[in-house]
Structure 1
């Protein structure tokens, strides 16, 4: 980074401290590397992407294990078309059923099957180990409640 003035002009933002700069520079690395590392573990050990795992997880937590496709897309942070591809793949494995919404014939629901719930339970230990190994084990000395609150505030 270019050299910083020691005192900012009146009203200008203050320069980053070295610790602040380190956090700001590390964040994009985390946002890129963490999902890839977890996904690699899931693919290697479960033959399932982390996004597929998250799809099953969010459905398992929903009332009646069912979500509208738009709600599921929001939960897994994917486009509706990307979510449809994931749901189609999981449907072909028997883990999800798609059904038209009773009240709105244009909308579809994704519903977790018993086989999908069983598959989620099988994959859970791998996901948990990956999350711990690649993320939580590196945060041992931090106040996780404060960190979680700060991250939620940043996300808005």
Structure 2
């Protein structure tokens, strides 16, 4: 089942259950999918690839994390809670998130492959790491683990 179909089904279920938070979250995902599909049609494609769908979900999750951080700084706990609930719903659609140990293992492998030895080599490691861990680990987590692996 495609993400778009699943989202459509989940919108109907949220409406029947009168689950306003879930409804807002899944509608926001559907909106972004529809916008990207319009862009894809310009390129001559009818549907998004699975990788593009995952990228959209990663972007939506990142937006929620950033909003949580900003609202937290502003002391808006009500909005922090709302964004956190939406983030949890979005994460249900993402691939399983890797543990720190799993991410570190991937980073260690990449460090060995590219021959990185110092914090100066961070760029050499981050590109392949983000490509390989797309949707499975938060970018900030990857960045901090790469820094640690390179002794930064």
TM-score by length of 2: 0.29
- Higher-helix-fraction structure: 2
- Higher-strand-fraction structure: 1
Which structure: larger Rg? 1
